[in-house]
Structure 1
Amino acid sequence: MSQELVKCPCCDKMVPANDMELTYRKPDPIASMDADEIEERCKYSSDYYVCDDEYFYIRAILPLPVKDSGREYCLGVWVQVSEKSFNKIWDLWDDPEQDKAPPFKGGLANNVHLNSESINSEIELQLIGPTSRPRVSLVDTKSTIYMEQQCGITVHRASEYSDLCRN
């Protein structure tokens, strides 16, 4: 089965149109722990991590518009939020009207590859529905990934992110 190829507007290279999207399995501070330490210090699911009852992480998506395609490339990331925000998010998690809640402030909990130091970049987390991961909007204008989210990325850049999934 062949995959559709599209021409990248920045380099004219043909790249796959429907690449896998880069996803981080854990927040970076948790990923640096060994399995025993995680079991001892953390409560977690596929949607959240709580470490030492002090650090609160939520799994989310960081959408990047792909120029000239009408689609988004979504990075699977983790964000750190305050305990108060975490508890409010938890209360709203299954609420069908959670999208009406204002965004939550937090920090990016992954150092997104191919970008300058993005970990701890200021973000806003928006709940969008009980069957969808929350969406991240970068607020930190100094982060290179902020510019990618604001201005969009090329198909080639999306392919570069996806290549990280295969390594």
Structure 2
Amino acid sequence: MQPSRAPGEGGEFGKDGENVERPVGRREHGPRSHPGTGRCQDRQPGRTACPTRAVASAGTSTDTGFSCACCGEHHAETPMNFSSPAPVHWEPGMERAKKCELTSDQCVIRGEAFFVRGLIELPVLGHDEVFSWGVWVSLSERNFLRASEMWENPARESEPAYFGWLSTELFPYEPTTINLKTMVHTRAVGLRPTVELEPTDHPLAVEQRTGITMERVRQLAEAVLHAGA
């Protein structure tokens, strides 16, 4: 896993060799969850947790569904969100390990790797709603602790963006989405942060910048709903 970096002066992605922090986990402390009991919600509430590889959740569009090219069945609604409940680095049994903790919004692995959950939102052309991927991003220890400190503070919307490495494998995309550079933008209390990808030519980054069609949404739904078929 690559060490995380602090955000640049202007909230920039930073270049290799710039703004590099020491690898996380230098200080000894246990896993730290956000204060309070409130959980963040996606932009459209009502999402359910899914397996580590992104699968369908409860957010759906207002259209009349689609006929699936994989199974031939008609799906009454088109999923508009797919989510992963844990970073790709999380392994079964870690919940019993020392200094490991996973909540719906944050994750700590061995007291040295720190993650927050956010949304990569893709504009849907010709529609008011967005399609979103629920993903995990690794932050530096400093930024993770700062995000935790500000978790229930209304002033958190004024926080500068945090640099992070994408830590969810979105398998409909090639090459891999692991370790794409991102900026995490904190939103109002109760809402998950949005995740901005570095503007590269990676297909996911391109779709975030230019938007996708509803037909592309259906293609993504087919790929995820019938993964491994």
Q: Give the alignment's TM-score, normalised by structure 2.
A: 0.62
Distance 1:107 1:6, change over 3 A: same
Once the two structures are superposed, residues 32-82 of structure 1 have per-residue CA deviations (whole angstroms, 9 ceiling, x without a partner) of x22x23421512211111001111010111100001112211111111111
Residue 108 of structure 1 corresponds to: 166
Matches within 5 A, 1:1-167: 4-5=63-64, 18-30=78-90, 33-34=91-92, 36-41=93-98, 42-116=100-174, 117-139=176-198, 141-163=200-222, 164-165=224-225
Taking the aligned partners of 1:144 and 1:123, their CA distance within structure 2 comes to 14
The 4+ residue runs of structure 1 with deviation greater than 4 A are 14-18
Whole-angstrom distance in 2 between the partners of 1:5 and 1:52: 46
Distance 2:113 2:144 in 1: 10
Q: Which has the higher helix share?
A: 1
Asked whether the 8 Å contact 2:120–2:134 carries over to 1, the reply is: yes
User: 2:84 and 2:185 mapped to 1: Cα distance?
Assistant: 19
Q: Is 137-146 or 101-110 further displaced after alignment?
A: 137-146
**Higher share in strand:** 1
**CA 1:151–1:21: 2 relative to 1, 3 Å:** same
Residues 111-160 of structure 1: per-residue CA shift (max 9 Å, x gap) = 11211211100000010011100100001514210000000011122223
Q: Report the Cα distance in structure 1 between the residues aligned to 2:190 and 2:210, rounded to whole angstroms.
A: 28
Q: Which AA in structure 1 matches 2:156?
A: Q
Q: Max radius of gyration: which structure?
A: 2
Q: Which runs of 5+ in 2 are unaligned?
A: 1-61, 67-73
Distance, in Å, in 2 between the alignment partners of 1:159 and 1:73 is 11
Provide the residue aligned with 1:11 in structure 2: none
The one-letter amino acid paired with 1:66 is: V
Q: Which stretch shifts more, 102-111 or 19-28?
A: 19-28
The aligned amino acid for 1:37 is M
TM-score normalised by length of structure 1: 0.84
SS at match of 1:29: coil
Aligned-pair RMSD on alpha carbons? 2.2
Specify every segment of 5 or more residues in structure 1 that has no aligned partner in the other structure, as ranges: 8-13
